[in-house]
Amino acid sequence: MKFETKVIHAGVHPDPSTGAIMTPIFQTSTYVQKSPGSHQGYEYGRTKNPTRTVLEENLAALENGSDAITFGSGLAALDAILKLLKPGDHVVSTNDLYGGSYRLMVQLYERYGIEFSFVDFGDDKAVIQAITAQTKLLWIETPTNPMLSIIDIKKTVDTFGNKDLLVCVDNTFASPYLQNPLDLGANIVLHSATKYINGHSDVVLGAVVVNDSAIAKQLRFIQNASGAVPGPQDCFLTIRGIKTLHVRMDRACQNAAYIALQLKNIDEIANVYYPGFESHIGHQLAKSQMRQFGAMISFDLKDNTAAAANAILAKTKLFALAESLGGVESLIGHPSTMTHAAIPKTEREKIGLTDSLIRLSVGIENQEDLWADLKQAIG
């Protein structure tokens, strides 16, 4: 099955008891057993739920994995991945990552004796130097948030990965429609399904996808033991959102390409970060590992102050000032005070995340309406 067919059909079957074509919301905490231990595969709602099963089978198919395991949020999914580790283990992570992921790693997991190094994955030497005998996991995000750098997934796997060193990719920004890290050899894929996968800004949900039954078994154990499961209604909404993932992504990517080009011609702007530009350092790599360039754009200003950025944020009307991304509606945000406030200023500045940096999540509205809104806010 091709992607456009999988989003609609993979894992989805008419309900056997009624013929309902759409997956029912199984709003139940428990399941009646015929006799102790004799049941239809479902015993208790934390362990398994039929609506969740459909979502997990669908997500596994979209990432060409064997198993998807879903959670109450993207960070709950990351939490489950980190629980694969034990005290003394070490993680090498990209230094350009989602602020909440950084917070979970540093402010919670360091307390439990897990160690983290944050390095630039564009610099092989820095990665090699950071890896120790204790390193068990490499954590990358690509495109990165918010600088939209591209990390070479296959090279990361081939150069650094091995059976004792798992390569994990946060694929939230690309979505499974644009990029499939497991196909490039990664061991674990994380999604904040809150973003493009659900796509309608009405659900918070996370997923981990793997192609290895032993890791899947451990993650299922953690899912059940820790219990951060998504509710059936959120699973239903996500299944519904996924059905249009390819259509939404195509339009959002087209709109972003148009907006990025317009931004380049504006005097007040210092840098536009968008992997679709030939001048972007990761452009060729993006072309080879992604199907399109995504719908996220960041830019900063010649007047490199938070005040100058705030003046723009205050004036957009269609681009709503909000955290998050990947919905049908366009959003605008200020990473240094919003999504990335948890990262110290010195760390932010190392990666070019300046005080005037503005991040756009381009939605699927009319592109000229979107540009008119931005232009009046900047000009």
142, 194, 198, 255: which one binds ligand PLP (CB under 6 A): 194
CB of 172 to ligand PLP, least distance (A): 4
CB of 101 to ligand PLP, least distance (A): 5
CB of 100 to ligand PLP, least distance (A): 5
Out of 79, 152, 170, 234, which one is annotated catalytic?
Answer: 170
* 233 close to 25: Cβ distance less than 8 angstroms: yes
Q: Smaller CB distance to ligand PLP: residue 51 or 94? A: 94
Query: Is residue 69 part of the contact set for ligand PLP (CB under 6 A)?
Result: no
CB of 237 to ligand PLP, least distance (A): 14
> Is residue 98 flagged as an active site residue?
yes
CB atoms within 10 A of CB 213: 11
Structure-derived torsion over alpha carbons of residues 67, 72, 74, 80, reported in degrees to the nearest 10: -60
Query: Is residue 204 part of the contact set for ligand PLP (CB under 6 A)?
Result: yes
Residues 148-177 that bind ligand PLP (CB under 6 A): 170, 172-173
Q: Smaller CB distance to ligand PLP: residue 74 or 301? A: 74
Q: Smaller CB distance to ligand PLP: residue 168 or 301? A: 168
> Is residue 42 flagged as an active site residue?
no
Q: Smaller CB distance to ligand PLP: residue 68 or 204? A: 204
CB atoms within 10 A of CB 305: 12
Give the pair of three-digit tokens for residue 194. Answer: 């809150």
Site string for ligand PLP, 116-155 (x = CB under 6 A): -------------------------x---x----------
58, 70, 73, 179: which one binds ligand PLP (CB under 6 A): 73
Pick the piece of the chain touching ligand PLP (CB under 6 A) from 86-94, 96-104, 216-224, 360-368: 96-104
Query: Is residue 192 part of the contact set for ligand PLP (CB under 6 A)?
Result: yes
CB of 71 to ligand PLP, least distance (A): 8
Out of 195, 251, 348, 359, which one is annotated catalytic?
Answer: 195
Query: Is residue 197 part of the contact set for ligand PLP (CB under 6 A)?
Result: no
Query: Is residue 210 part of the contact set for ligand PLP (CB under 6 A)?
Result: no
Out of 96, 98, 109, 348, which one is annotated catalytic?
Answer: 98
* 190 close to 137: Cβ distance less than 8 angstroms: no
Query: Is residue 79 part of the contact set for ligand PLP (CB under 6 A)?
Result: no
CB of 174 to ligand PLP, least distance (A): 10
Query: Is residue 74 part of the contact set for ligand PLP (CB under 6 A)?
Result: yes
Query: Is residue 195 part of the contact set for ligand PLP (CB under 6 A)?
Result: yes
Q: What is the 3-state secondary structure (H, E, C) of the chain?
A: CCHHHHHHHCCCCCCCCCCCCCCCCCCCCECCCCECCECCCCCECCCCCHHHHHHHHHHHHHCCCCEEEEECCHHHHHHHHHCCCCCCCEEEEECCCCHHHHHHHHHHHHHHCCEEEEECCCCHHHHHHHCCCCEEEEEEECCCCCCCCCCCHHHHHHHHCECCEEEEEECCCCHHHHCCHHHHCCCEEEEECCCCCCCCCCCCCEEEEECCHHHHHHHHHHHHHHCCCCCHHHHHHHHHHHCCHHHHHHHHHHHHHHHHHHHHCCCCEEEEECCCCCCCCCHHHHHHHCCCCCCEEEEEECCCCHHHHHHHHCCCCCCEECCCCCCCCCEEECCCCCCCCCCCHHHHHHCCCCCCCEEEECCCCCHHHHHHHHHHHHC
Cα(319)–Cα(361) distance, integer angstroms = 9
Pick the piece of the chain touching ligand PLP (CB under 6 A) from 42-50, 94-102, 310-318, 349-357: 94-102
> Is residue 195 flagged as an active site residue?
yes
Q: 246 vs 4, 7, 68, CA distance in Å?
A: 6, 8, 19
CB of 203 to ligand PLP, least distance (A): 9
Query: Is residue 198 part of the contact set for ligand PLP (CB under 6 A)?
Result: no
Active site residues: 46, 98, 170, 195
User: Can you give the binding site for ligand PLP, defined by CB under 6 A?
Assistant: 73-75, 98, 100-101, 141, 145, 170, 172-173, 192, 194-195, 204, 206
